[in-house]
Amino acid sequence: MSKQNKIRRFLKKLFIALLLFLIAFSGYVAIETRNVKDMTIRQKVLKAVYPAFTWLGRITGKNSKVFTNELQASPPQSLYNLSIALNNGDSIPLSNYKGKKLLLVNTASDCGYTDQYDDLQKLFEENKERLVIIGFPANDFKEQEKGTDEDIEKFCRLNYGVTFPLAKKSSVIPGPEQNPVFQWLTDKNKNGWTSKKPSWNFSKYLVNEEGVLVNYFDPSISPTGKEVMDAIKK
């Protein structure tokens, strides 16, 4: 057999293998997303591959850092002086949450981490007595949150049953348009110890019952992972 024919046979086998993989993967995506009601094809694929995506992030160390307020530094400025503009048009003072832990998360609907909405909702339901979760939809990272506040609320409610508060869409990275809450979270002169900005969508900041920022968790750290759960139980 000539070298040229061998190459052709190899390419044919490769094509068939890729085709079979795509068929199998399409079936897997269909099964994994059979209960979704309002997702694009991209969102369905991202939802299906989320476990592998997170696993890869953890073993490579990408977006998997944790920062802790080891000295329990108190904030020079109180978080409780701020209010949140919610996506339904209401505004709520953060002082309403004194005595509970706060998990503040920047979110997006078209991200590899979007399926964390499911974990966040579970975490919220299981810890309502001591924890409040607030999502901050943002379009800062690769424009992965292009929807309106109404679109975002519908997407989260239909596909993940989200009942925890969602803020009005805003920017969470340092700059003139940065949400005031994230100005506090990312400025050590305000929170007392760190200027760590979100590394990507679904970065998580944990504030304790006294309004002290105690932890930052990178996106690859699951909301229901050991690191977060241990911090909440403290």
Tell me, yes or no, whether 26 and 101 share the same domain.
no
Tell me, yes or no, whether 10 and 73 share the same domain.
no
Tell me, yes or no, whether 95 and 11 share the same domain.
no
Tell me, yes or no, whether 76 and 149 share the same domain.
yes
Residues with pLDDT less than 50, the chain: 15-32
| Secondary structure of 78-96 in HEC code, one letter for each residue | CHHHCEEEECCCCEEEHHH
User: Which sequence positions are flagged as catalytic?
Assistant: 111
Predicted model pTM: 0.84
Segments forming the whole domain that contains residue 166: 66-233
Q: How many domains does the chain have?
A: 2
What pLDDT shows up at residue 28? 38
Tell me, yes or no, whether 50 and 110 share the same domain.
no
What pLDDT shows up at residue 20? 38
Please identify, among 12, 44, 60, the residue that sits at the C-terminal boundary of a domain: 60
What pLDDT shows up at residue 13? 55
Summarize pLDDT for 77-86 with one digit per residue, the tens.
Answer: 999 999 999 9
DSSP states of 129-140 as a string?
TTEEEEEEE--T
What pLDDT shows up at residue 58? 77
CATH code, domain with 172: 3.40.30.10
Tell me, yes or no, whether 19 and 43 share the same domain.
yes
What pLDDT shows up at residue 36? 59
d(C-alpha 88, C-alpha 101), whole Å: 23
